[in-house]
Amino acid sequence: MMYRLCLGLTLPLLAGQTAPPVGWRTFAPKDAGFSVALPRSPKAKKQQLKLPAGAADVTVFTCDHEVSTGASKPALDVAFVIGVTEYASADMDGVDDKRLRNARDGAVESARGKLIHERKITLAGHPGRELWIQTRDDGMIHTRLYAVKQRLYQTMAVGPKKAVETKEVAAFLDSFRLSK
C-alpha cells in the first residue's frame, strides 16, 4: 500500500508534469471526450466554424483565474481555454498534420501575434503541437493542439508572459486527458 502511495505521488514528477493546485477540480463535460483540472467551473460557448468543405461545430470552455507570480508581486489574470472542434468524420481521414497546421496558423492569425516556438507532441498516441505565441500587447499564449479522430482539441492559457509561465498554467495544460 505504501509503495502505491509513493508511486502515485511521484509519477507526475517522473513524467515531467505539474500537479494541479489544491482546490482545483476535474472538469469533464458529458460527451466531450476529455477531462482537465481547473480552479472553478468554466463558461461554455457553442458556435459553428465555416470551412471550405462545410462546417464544424466548436465548443469553447473558458475560465478566468488570478495566478501568483511571487510573494511580494501582485497576482496576474490568465484565461484558461479549452476548445473542442467537431468535424465530419469523413473529412478527417489522413489529414491530422494539415489540421494541426491550419489550427496553428489560425491561432497565430486570430491572436495577431508571432509564433515564437512550436514543437510536435502526442497525447495517448494522437498527434499534437505545442505553441507559444507572443501577442502585440506583450502578452503570451501557450497552447496545445491535439488531432483525435474527428475532433481537434485545444488547451490554451492567455495572459501576460509572467502569468503564462507559472506552474499553475503548466498544471492546467498537463492535466488535459482524453476520456475512454
pLDDT digits 0-9 by tens, 64-104: 998 877 767 778 899 999 999 998 765 555 688 888 999 99
Express as a percent the part of the chain with pLDDT over 90: 65
Fold of 2-178: Protein Transport Mog1p; Chain A (3.40.1000)
Domain ranges of the chain: 2-178
Cα within 13 Å of Cα(46), Cβ side:
4
Tell me how crowded residue 51 is: count the other CB atoms within 10 A of its CB.
13
Mean pLDDT of the chain: 86
Q: How is residue 99 written as a grid cell?
A: 489540421
pLDDT tens-digit profile of 42-62? 999 999 988 777 788 999 999
Reduced to 3 states (helix: H, G, I; strand: E, B; else coil), residue 5 is helix
Question: What is the share, in percent, of the chain residues with pLDDT greater than 70?
Answer: 87
Three cell numbers, residue 26: 476535474
